[in-house]
Amino acid sequence: MPHGAALGIDFCGYRLQSPFILTSGPLSYGAEGMIRAHQAGCGAAVTKTIRLQPAVNPPRHMGTVGRDSLINCEKWSDIDRLQWYEQEIPQAAAAGVTVIASVGHTPQEARAIVEDAEKAGAHMIELVSYTEETLVPMLDYANAHVSIPVICKLSANWPDTVAAAQRCLEHGADGLCAIDSIGPTLKIDIRRARPEMESRDGYGWLTGEAIRPIALRINAEIARCHPELRSLYASGGCMRPEHAVEYLMAGAMGVGVCTAAILHGTAYIEKLCRGLSELLLELGYRSVEEVYRAALPNFSRKEAEGPAGFSFAPFRMDGSRLCIACRRCEQVCCYGARVLNFPAMELDRSRCRSCGLCADVCPTGALQIIQRAKASGSAR
Ligand SMILES: Cc1cc2nc3c(=O)[nH]c(=O)nc-3n(C[C@H](O)[C@H](O)[C@H](O)COP(=O)(O)O)c2cc1C
């Protein structure tokens, strides 16, 4: 285990070794991938979504969007459900993986699959569907027929994800996952002048970095609406330990990982675990439990007023340079208010609109914003 803050969490009645959960996707195509994720430090692993018929995917079904996001038109599991029950789930469970069986996408399929998944040794069921209207009957069936915890995976493609969370909890969901990939979305292959995804409509689903702020807002809102909820896990663009901290602070108990592990390999989860453990300690938290929901009391109901205050430190305490004169602060100022005459930083207050971007882009922290400070003579 890494030296730093304690990463173990309690989730839906299970003790998980870390808050990271390998979410349903190509890395959980079978037991092998799930065992790798477990060995890398994942607290649990979700199977690729099991349906009545195995999927047949078009040849080109995953591509990058920028550096840290993906578009995909991959369908559900491409192996038969009997293989999941007879081999993949039992093998993964025997290797110590906390297995969450993803079951989609219709009530008929939930009826055909959930009990067999439980018998095969799954520790939890995760229900996933295209609409909220079909998810709730799946949940009702699963609740009545399995004794293991049932998680509902929520989509931001629905009109009101937070209301859907409420409905799932009213119908007895033991846990929630927010959110699924977002779409449909499009990427054009400009060399071939055609959609890159070879799905029927050329569209695909967006994951990774690009969707994190959407997922984070939804997780925070669900957590704020349900102060007692301790079994929400986030999914969407956790690429670095900092992102996991954001999710934990916003009220997610677990943090899903899919795109990051696809792009960097499953072993990257080890780095996420080590990084999270060290970062939490650096931020003053000794455990996930301590950081959990830490940001929620700080959501103000009132818009802040007054000009922003800034502090600028060109040098560190030991005299070495902190400001590297990259001039990002000048570049991003839409109003031409900032001028760096190293070591002096000038701010034309008559131009500055207090947007804060100059401080946000400072790569070293030499220029910082003092939140909600009143205008004062010392603010530059
Ligand atoms: C290639 C790919 C395939 C996926 N397949 C499934 C799936 O079968 N079932 C499912 O519930 N989610 C599936 N997802 C969605 C992920 O589980 C996850 O919710 C989403 O990617 C957002 O997390 P991320 O930004 O960490 O990737 C898939 C994602 C990707 C990238």
By alpha-carbon position, which residue is closest to atom 6 of ligand 1? 25
Average pLDDT over residues 25-37: 98
Q: How big, in percent rounded to 5, are the helix, strand and coil portions of the chain? A: 35, 20, 45
Residue 378: predicted pLDDT: 34
Residue 74 has pLDDT above 80, yes or no: yes
3-state per-residue secondary structure call for 215-260 = HHHHHHHHHHHCCCCCCEEECCCCCCHHHHHHHHHCCCCEEEECHH
Mutating to test ligand 1, I would choose from 20, 21, 22, 23 the residue with most ligand atoms within 8 A of its C-beta, which is 23
Retrieve residue 343's tokens: 């070591």
Residue 10 neighbours by CB distance under 10 Å: 13
Q: What separation in angstroms does the CA of 287 have from each of 94, 162, 186? A: 28, 28, 40
Residue 315: predicted pLDDT: 97
Residue type at position 13: G
By alpha-carbon position, which residue is closest to atom 19 of ligand 1? 180
Peptide bond into 105 cis (omega under 30): yes
How far apart are alpha carbons 115 and 161 in whole angstroms?
Answer: 27
Is the Cβ atom of 146 under 6 angstroms away from ligand 1?
A: no
Average pLDDT over residues 207-230: 98
Is the Cβ atom of 216 under 6 angstroms away from ligand 1?
A: no
Q: How confident is the model at residue 376 (pLDDT cuts 50, 70, 90)?
A: very low
Do residues 57 and 49 make contact, with C-beta atoms less than 8 angstroms apart? no
- In the reported structure, the alpha carbon of residue 292 is separated from the centroid of ligand 1 by a whole-number distance in angstroms of 24
248-305, pLDDT tens digit by residue? 999 999 999 999 999 999 999 999 999 999 999 999 999 999 999 999 999 988 898 8
Residue 372: predicted pLDDT: 59
User: What's the whole-number average pLDDT of the chain?
Assistant: 95
* Beta strands per DSSP E along 267-322: 309-312
Residue 5: predicted pLDDT: 97
How far apart are alpha carbons 345 and 289 in whole angstroms?
Answer: 41
142: three-class secondary structure by DSSP: helix
* Rg of the chain taking only CA atoms, in angstroms: 23
pTM of the model: 0.95
Do residues 181 and 234 make contact, with C-beta atoms less than 8 angstroms apart? no
Residue 223: predicted pLDDT: 98
Is the Cβ atom of 236 under 6 angstroms away from ligand 1?
A: yes
171-212, pLDDT tens digit by residue? 999 999 999 999 999 999 999 999 999 999 999 999 999 999
Is the Cβ atom of 247 under 6 angstroms away from ligand 1?
A: no
Residue 247 neighbours by CB distance under 10 Å: 29
Residue 380 has pLDDT above 70, yes or no: no
- In the reported structure, the alpha carbon of residue 235 is separated from the centroid of ligand 1 by a whole-number distance in angstroms of 8
Residue 357 has pLDDT above 80, yes or no: yes
Residue 1 has pLDDT above 70, yes or no: no
Retrieve residue 335's tokens: 């109003």
93-151, pLDDT tens digit by residue? 999 999 999 999 999 999 999 999 999 999 999 999 999 999 999 999 999 999 999 99
- In the reported structure, the alpha carbon of residue 146 is separated from the centroid of ligand 1 by a whole-number distance in angstroms of 25
What percentage of the chain exceeds 70 in pLDDT?
97
Average pLDDT over residues 53-64: 97
Q: Which atom of ligand 1 is nearest the CA belonging to 177? A: 19
Is the Cβ atom of 204 under 6 angstroms away from ligand 1?
A: no
294-345, pLDDT tens digit by residue? 999 999 888 988 899 999 999 999 999 999 999 999 999 999 999 999 999 9
Do residues 247 and 232 make contact, with C-beta atoms less than 8 angstroms apart? no
Sign of CA dihedral 364, 367, 373, 378: positive
